[in-house]
Amino acid sequence: MKKLLFAGSLTLCLCFSSLFVGQTAFAAQAESENLGLSCKSAYCMDANSATPVYAMNEKERLPIASMCKIMTLILSFDAVESGKMSYDTVVPVSQHAMSMGGSQVYLEAGGTYTAEQLMESVTVCSANDACVALAEYIAGSDDIFVQRMNERAKGLGCNDTLFANCTGLPKDPQYSCAYDVALMLRELIKHDKYFEFSKIWTDEFQHPEGRTTLITNTNKLIRQYQGCDGGKTGFTNEAGFCLAATARRGETRAISVCIGSADSKSRFAAVSRMFDYTFANYSDREVYPAAPLEEKLCVKNAKVTEIAVIPERPVRYFCKNGESGAELTRTVEFMPVKAPLHKGDKVGEMTVFKDGAEYAKVSLLALEDAEKATIWDYYRRAAENWAI
């Protein structure tokens, strides 16, 4: 693999803060602002880079009530992406699912609903019965589904999380922490379809026999906080009032989590204050655009000797306003490729470093086709070289 290092004139001396100065430094800095949160545990981070902004007892293992449905939804979206089900898949409802109680959409045992209906009801009104119906369809039983929830959590780096069911209803042992919940919500919001559900304020849920149930979003911040477009509430006597939410202003998207507030008003206030602090003091800026690179890719056996390449996505940099001293460099690594090559094919990687530590890695894509050379192309090329 060909490796090109560009420093010197291509080194960016940016007036941005360091991303990787450590979570403790960011957390201590935020705590010194005295946000006055009324909860047992809290955490706030940048959604794009996972840079921590605020932390309070963020690794303490606590019950999280219905916020565990974030993972239930992640596995549901996983099932759609893998082809296990589609949004139009008809899901049957068992007596067990119907009998969940708590927050529910009053599914009919023996009835059938689309996966999209069920996923919407879980997102909007935290429907326990819909959670179990999805779990049984996807995994065969809710017990197997819970095993997969725990496996998926471990894969995300959630080391202080243990699920006992897919609803968050009280059952020991089960727990999570504010940090892990933030990681899970960060994974969930990678699905654009999720936001179609999370932005719904009220809707009529249709049952097979014509009955309807009015569902209302439990996350009041989607109406009360500018830029908030998703999240998950939770409440049990054991967990207290909980909330994980995401909000975007401009190019900055934050994720905030609070666990164990004494009342519903306090959880919304805690998350709002963390959002306010983030948007007032931090920004997310594009440092490498998704634009053609100066470097060209050499393609073997092609009609053309080299083609243009482009990063798959821009590289953004999240930092505290006014801080300086960050230095970014990048390397470009091309894969050995030969014709035929098609526009959009992966041909290498661009790695961005901050002060020598890896910050981001982005795939490089071919910006044009490279057709296979014919014998006449070789003759022409040889003639041109001979003429020189």
The set of catalytic residues is 66, 69, 126
Measured CA to CA, the distance from residue 27 to residue 20 in angstroms comes to 13
